[in-house]
Structure 1
Amino acid sequence: MRTPRKSVQPKILVVDVGGSHIKCLLSGETTRRKFKSGPKLTPQQMVAGILKITADWRFDALSIGYPGVVTQGAPALEPHHLAPGWVGFDFEAAFGLPVRIVNDAAMQALGSYRGGKMLFLGLGTGLGSALIVDGHIVAMELGHLRRSKRHDYEDMLGKRGYKRLGKKKWRRKVHAVVEGFRAALMPDEIVIGGGQADRLKTLPPRSRLGNNAAAFLGGFRLWDTSPPGKSPNTYKDLS
């Protein structure tokens, strides 16, 4: 069990759990560390991998961005692209430290947030989504809404949709779906992030491009009591 370090400003380790890599960043550091994940990765293996690559880092608490549904701070469903065993796993006992877990899209959304009502859409393997209203995060599963009998929005806007539709048609679908979400949810702005976002030639109206590094800023903000946009300077370069 790792002993919490004593400091005036707590050190937070942010963990971004992905289907291909586990990425970590410690508050005050500028270089991320990572290792490969994949469909055989269990939570026990993830914990061991994190402790290995952060052996020379000392931290007081962790934020974990989980690629799935999170309810009351814990995974509620098993992830699609990792091994089972995440639901019911005791992360605080495994690390011996306080842990806060949110959906990975919600964590990136929090790092992208500037105020008001913001919708975050993450174009990646699937479609991540989160809504923040006056600082309150609402994780969503818009990707699982059915667009047709055969496909949901995740199938359409994620990697599978890009390969199936081709670049031009995929771009048109993204614009159409984003406009539909805007009409339904009426956000002040929409942030479009994820690994597929760079494939867009133009962004939909009143939207801006997100930054994957914002996930780490969001993880720091989970423990930060400062108002959004006024976090410690060590975090600002990640937004």
Structure 2
Amino acid sequence: MNVLVIDIGGSNIKILATGQPERIKIPSGKDFTPEEMIPLVKEASKDWKYDRISIGFPGVVKQGKIVANPVNMGEGWKGYDFEAAFGCPVKIINDAAMQALGSYEGGKLLFMGFGTGLGTALVFEELILPMEGGHLPFKQGTFETHVGNDALKKLGKKRWKELVYQSISHFRRCFQPDHIVLGGGNSKLLDEIPEDCSLGSNKNAFTGGFRLWEKSYKF
């Protein structure tokens, strides 16, 4: 079994296949569409062998289908037939959930990804529960509006970090996880890692994509 993992982001698409030593980055952007992505991925992976695909998508996925276009990208993602486009079986999962699965080592895991927005997911045994926790109300807005990339630029690192720590505390009390993994590019800006937390790695998204085909996960 050879799997191609596609991690879709608002700035870059990152791909990696079974047995390959290095991932490949493909620029995306706010107007990026699946019709643009398919030929770019095929060209970038033309020397790789794969017979199935995992896609981590930055938005709402239900029963393996994208149900809404992403906020930070173009149109056409909702309902797009990736299996027909690639000609092989495809599993689609929320990108935070895919990284959470790749980070999982047992118990109840909460993943919080601090990047463009706030990605959240829970993993417990073979259940993967994607969440839109960043859209929950927080102060005069949502968690995402206070800890996303725009907030970091607007408020500065000091205030942004205070709000991140507050967010972690709220989510810990609500979901009672055994462990919290802090992912996303901005999590590396934190000076101190709270109790029962650890920094994740973007590489875990690929681990999660490979794991999707190893068991019958529910997500």
TM-score of the two chains, using structure 2 as the length reference: 0.96
Letter in 2 for 1:176: Q
- Residue 166 of structure 2 corresponds to which residue in structure 1? 176
Is the Cα–Cα contact under 8 Å of residues 116 and 149 in structure 2 kept in the other structure?
A: yes
Q: 1 CA distance for matches of 2:175 and 2:9?
A: 27
Letter in 2 for 1:89: Y
Is the Cα–Cα contact under 8 Å of residues 175 and 203 in structure 1 kept in the other structure?
A: no
Partner SS state of residue 185, structure 2: coil
The correspondence for 1:217, drawn from 200, 204, 207, is 207
Which piece of structure 1 moves more, 123-132 or 152-161?
152-161
Is the Cα–Cα contact under 8 Å of residues 11 and 59 in structure 1 kept in the other structure?
A: yes
Does the alignment pair 1:125 with 2:120? no
CA apart distance, 1:132 = 0.8
Q: 2 CA distance for matches of 1:175 and 1:100?
A: 33
Letter in 1 for 2:211: R
Q: RMSD across aligned C-alpha pairs, in angstroms?
A: 1.3
Structure 2 stretches of 5 or more lacking a match? none
Is the Cα–Cα contact under 8 Å of residues 157 and 173 in structure 1 kept in the other structure?
A: yes
Q: 2 CA distance for matches of 1:225 and 1:40?
A: 35
Is the Cα–Cα contact under 8 Å of residues 116 and 135 in structure 1 kept in the other structure?
A: no
Structure 1 stretches of 5 or more lacking a match? 1-9, 228-239
The correspondence for 2:182, drawn from 188, 192, 207, is 192
The correspondence for 2:30, drawn from 15, 39, 43, is 39
- Residue 194 of structure 2 corresponds to which residue in structure 1? 204
Identity of aligned residues (%): 48
In our comparison, the structure showing a higher alpha carbon Rg is 1
Q: 1 CA distance for matches of 2:86 and 2:204?
A: 24
The correspondence for 1:18, drawn from 9, 25, 28, is 9
- Moved beyond 2 Å, runs of 4+: none
* Counterpart mapping for 1:66-215 below 5 A: 66-149=57-140, 151-215=141-205
